[in-house]
Structure 1
Amino acid sequence: MPLDTVHPALAAALLALPQLCLLTRAWIRHRTAVRLEQERTRRIQLALRRSGDERRADLVRACAELEAASRAGPPGAP
């Protein structure tokens, strides 16, 4: 079917669809990152709340090491 016979509203929708898909994927990626950070923060807060004062420094250090390792990726990766 030639494009000059397609209804203008359908043509506009077809042209906007890829941008809408990109926007939706970016929003989902963003919301996933926010949710993961919220869960990580919640777990750390719970661990700190349940720990004694003498263990808090060790716990914070361990959490920082785990965070750094998770951002670095698997061992041996470039």
Structure 2
Amino acid sequence: MPIRSINKYKVIKRFSLGKRMYDIEDVIYIQEHDPKNQEPQKVFNCTKEYVTDISSDMYLSLNNTFIVQSINNS
């Protein structure tokens, strides 16, 4: 099974996920999609602690309105 990368995102619009509110300028990390195995994507908070799983549809919705990928992905 290949290792999926985890990308850094900055919140640009307030939203709630996994019983937590994310505000503008917060940072979250999202594991990339695994189309082969159809596994859910994992979300981590700014301290890289696991928060919840999300579907690809949820990721696309977040990426279209609520988050932007950080240029500095460290």
Q: TM-score, normalised by structure 2?
A: 0.24
Larger strand share, 1 or 2: 2
Q: TM-score, normalised by structure 1?
A: 0.23
Considering Cα pairs closer than 8 Å and 6+ residues apart, tell me whether 1 or 2 has the greater RCO.
2
